[in-house]
Structure formats: structure tokens, C-alpha cells
Chain A
């Protein structure tokens, strides 16, 4: 019993800098399991938040109110939706291929959630660290297309089949451009120079890494986010990825596999109830997953802004207040809206609910100010904040761009993104070689 407690505590020491799954001697299985549960719960919570935020933000972009009835400002709407989906009748078409129809949603959900095994929320805050991290993420997330294709085929219906064909063509095409953009970022991990153009630095040549944690550490060592490295090459590679990741997750303006005006609902037309909600869950968690790839590769992962330029104890302290301040800001928003709620007795329960929600947010904010908590959650906060920015962009795109035609989609993928990606890759390698030769020591 005593040994077991020691085993659990061994991961809690402040000097632990590796994730529980990757610690020496087989890692710490207990904490790995805890992290798996935490990440699963966190991603599911993120999906619930996204559900509410997407409806509210889209509504406000279109000068509507969005959900207002269930809970104050519709805050309980996602829960009501989830309950509705769970108790809905589950229909399977009579001519459908039962086994494949049953398996398809699980393939999609498994692929969407398995990738989070390597997502680094912090140097020690990941389930595990794999030497092939980014390769694992791309590979497993590409498996989700299998689920979509089989779902469309097993429904034995025309719209789903067309949707599945579209989605597989789209995802396979954009995987190429995505891969090229990722390779150019991985290439940057091996060019050890400092700053924007990688000139100078300790040792200009070296091996790169595919590990998600390693990639972020390389950005820290090179004093630059890969977004700005070899400016504007990193920026272009990031732009290619940013377009390709929307096509990969089948989101507007590339949501042709489920274009409702042409295909009713695309590959999941015949799905209802719980199975449909699995597709929904998988789509949103895949969005979070590809956003976290982008954040890790180009935006410095868990690093706070300016970790090198504004270094030192004072700046660390100032930046460590951000998580708590964010929650206090949200609590303040709640308080402001409590005061704005209609004074009619009919709204009394709603007002009390909103006040309670604000109180919980404020309490979380205060907890985040406690020094040990503050030190521990800073990296998670910055990672989640960057991912949240991407999630907002997803909603913004959906509210802004009209849907592309399929031939336009293919043209963008193969004739625009692919050549530019190849060019950026070659230029990155060239810039690396130039930087390498400039910074060679002149002793020989």
C-alpha cells in the first residue's frame, strides 16, 4: 500500500518533465490512465462548449439571438440536445449492411480520440510522448475517412454513397498538401539556427524530431515559432495547412460531403440518435485534434507569448496570472448579464442559474491564482487558448464563406496548394542549407 502511494506520488514531484506514458522504466501507468480520462473528459467538454458557441456566434454573425430558451442565454441547450439524441429512436435502413453500419461510427470516434494520446498540452502534460508523434497523429486521423466511407456505403442509399465518395476524394487529395506543409515544419526542427532566419546559434546542423513535445522544444530552443521561421516560408506552409485542415475535417466552406442543399446530409443521412451523435462528437474532436497539430507545429504549442524576449521571473509571474484572469473575466461577463436579465419574476430561476454559473467560473479563476496550481496550468492554458482561437476561426469561416463547388475544391487542392507546398518545401531546405553555410565556424 505504501509503495503504491509512493508510486502515485512519484509523478507529482515538481521536477518531473516528461509525460506519464513516456517516463523512464515503463512510465507511470496510474497517471497515464488518469490523463487519458482527463483528456477524454476535456475534449468532450470542449465539444459541448463548441456546440453552444457555434450556434451563438453564428447567430450573432447573422444578427439573430440563437438559443435563448433552455437555460440563461441557452447555456443548457447542448445538454438538452444530448438528452434528445440519446432517447431518440435508432433507425437502421432495412437494406443496410448491418455490421458495417454498426461499426462505421465507432471507427470515426476511435480515430478522432486516439490521436489525443500524443497531443502535448505541456512538457509533462501529455498522455505519452512518441518518437513518431506527428506521424502517428496524421496516420490515425487519416483512418477516420475509412469510417466515413463505410458509413456512406453501408447505408445502401444514394445520397450517403455520393457523400462518402466525395469525402474520400477530398480527404485523400488534401492529405497530400497537408503532408507537404507538415514536412516543411518538421524540416525546420533540424535547422538549429536561432531566430527568424536561423543564422548563428550554437550548432547549426543537427537531427530533427517527429515527437510532438520535441517539436515545441525545438521552437523554444530556436527562439522562434515555426510560423515566423524563414519568413515568409513558415507562414505559407501554415496557410496551406490551415486550408487543408478544414477540408480534412469536412467543415464549411469545404463541407461538400454533407452539403445539405445537394445531398440532404451526406454520408450520415441514414444515421439517427446515438450513432449520429457519435459522428458529431468525432467531427468536433477531429477539429480540435487538427487545430492542436497546427498549434504544435507552427504556433509554439504550450509556450506562452515571447518566452525568450520577455524572459525572467517577473514576466513569468505576470504571464502566470492570465489563466485566472481569463476565468475572472468570464465571471464578470456573467455578473454583467445577471444585472441585465429581465426583472420579471418569470426569469428568476434563469437569473439565479446564470449567477451560479458565474460564481463557479469566478471560483475556478480564484483557484487558478494559487501558486502551485498557477505554475502547473500555465502551459495547458496557453495551448488551449491557441486551439480555441482556431475553433473560433472554424466558426468564422462557416459564417463567412459560401460552399465551394467540387471541381473548385479539387482545383484548389491539386493545382494551388500542392505546387505551393512543394515549392515551400524546396525553399525551406534551400534556406536551411544557406543558413548552415553562413553559420559554419571559420576555424578550418
Chain B
């Protein structure tokens, strides 16, 4: 499908993400922060769609916006809001913070100015209708699949995390 009004949607989504990201750290109420984070994640899914990666966008919505953030909210809702509002929001690590921000900003400027030489010229283009099949081919195809092993290792990591959570949460199994 031919892209429609691409710069407009890019700036819209990017602005949504930046505003959402700022709200996440400035809101005192944790539920408001979580809602802002959800907005950011949904806008990020939109960016993935614009990069012709609908599969990643769908997984982003299902896993982050629909799954993980619900569990976040589930926990946050049970926290007493009165106490968190009284707490100081920012700690005194501003020196470290400035260094980190400066490093990140420098990185952004470097990428912006020298980006053309840093990244490969062309990009791998799957047609939108081929994207999901392309992901599967990269993972599992007999000839072109090269990431199957690392992918399965990642799932093993998740399994370890699940078992760890069960062991820690339950006193008697």
C-alpha cells in the first residue's frame, strides 16, 4: 500500500510519544503515569506500522499495551495513592543524570549528522503483505532461517523467569 501523508503521521506519532514519555516521569499519580506509558507504547506501534512492520506492531499492542500494562495497572491500583503523592518525586542524582543526558544527546547529534555513513544504504524491504511470512522465514526457514536458536534461547529465559516468579511468590509448592 502506498504511504499516505507519511511525514504528518510520523511527527504526530513522535510528538505523542515524547509528550507521553515526559508525562510518565512528571505525573505524581502512578496510574496517570501508566496511562501515559500506554499512549507512548501505542504511538510506538504506529511507528512500527509506518516502517512496514505490521507484525511487530501487532505484537507490541498485544504484549505491551494489552498484557504487561494491564498487570502494571493491576499492581499500581492497589498502592495507596495518598502516600505516593506526598513522597518526593526526584532524587538527588542530578549530576549523573546530566552526564547520561549529555551522552545520549551527543549520540543523537552524532547519528543525525553522520547517520548516512553509519547505516547501510538500502534497507531490507518486505512488502506489507509479506512481512509476517518474512519474519517466519528469518526464524524458521531451512535455508534462510538464522535466528531460530537465539529465539528459542530467549523463550527459555522467559520460562526461567516464570518459574522464578512462582517459586518466589509461593511459600509452599
Residues on A facing B (Cβ under 8 Å): 22, 25-27, 97, 99-100, 103, 130-132, 135-136, 138-140, 142-143, 145-146, 149-150, 152-154, 161, 164-165, 168-169, 171-172, 175, 207, 210
Provide the residues of chain A in CB contact with B32, threshold 8 Å.
Answer: 99-100
When chains A and B are docked, how far (Å) is the Cα of A172 from the Cα of B62?
11
Cβ contacts under 8 Å, B59 to chain A: 135, 139
Q: How far is the CB of B23 from chain A (nearest CB, A)?
A: 11
Cβ-based interface call for B145 (8 A): no
Tell me the dominant secondary structure on chain B's binding face: helix
Say if the beta carbon of B133 comes within 8 Å of chain A: yes
- Determine if A146 and B70 form an interchain contact, defined as CB atoms under 8 angstroms apart: yes
Q: Is the CB of B128 within 8 A of A26?
A: no
Q: Mark B38-72, 1 if CB is under 8 A from A, else 0.
A: 10000000000000001101110110011101110
Contact A150 B4 (CB under 8 A): no
Q: Could you say which residues of chain A place their CB within 8 Å of the CB of B70?
A: 142, 145-146, 149, 168, 171-172
Q: Which of B101-126 contact A (CB under 8 A)?
A: none
Decide yes or no whether B132 CB sits under 8 A from chain A: yes
- Minimum CB–CB distance from A366 to chain B (whole Å) comes to 40
Contact between B77 and A100, CB atoms less than 8 A apart:
no
**Is B31 located at the chain interface by the 8 A CB criterion?**
yes
A210 & B132 in contact (Cβ 8 Å cutoff): yes
The answer to whether A150 touches B61, judged by C-beta atoms less than 8 angstroms apart, is no
**Taking the complex as formed, is B2 at the interface, i.e. its CB lies under 8 A from any CB of chain A?**
yes
Does B73 belong to the interface (CB within 8 Å)?
A: yes
Contact A22 B31, beta carbon cutoff 8 Å: no
Q: For residue A130, which residues in chain B have a CB less than 8 angstroms away from its CB?
A: 54
Q: List 21 A-B contacts (CB under 8 A).
A: A100-B31, A100-B35, A131-B131, A132-B58, A132-B131, A135-B59, A135-B62, A138-B62, A139-B62, A140-B61, A142-B66, A142-B67, A145-B70, A146-B65, A146-B69, A149-B74, A153-B31, A165-B77, A171-B70, A172-B67, A210-B132
Interface membership of chain B positions 119-155, coded 1 if the CB is closer than 8 angstroms to chain A and 0 otherwise? 0000000001111110010000000000000000000
**A25 and B2 form a contact (CB under 8 A):** yes
Within the assembled complex, what's the spacing in Å between the Cα atoms of A136 and B55?
9
State whether A139 touches B58 (Cβ < 8 A). Answer: yes
The docked-state distance in angstroms from the alpha carbon of A139 to that of B77 is 23
Within the complex, the shortest CB–CB distance from B20 to chain A, in Å, comes to 14
Measured CB to CB, the nearest residue on chain A to B1 is A26
Q: Once the chains bind, are B1 and A22 in contact (CB under 8 Å)?
A: yes
> Complex: how many Å from CA A210 to CA B29?
39
What chain B residues lie within 8 Å of A153 (beta carbons)? 31, 73, 77
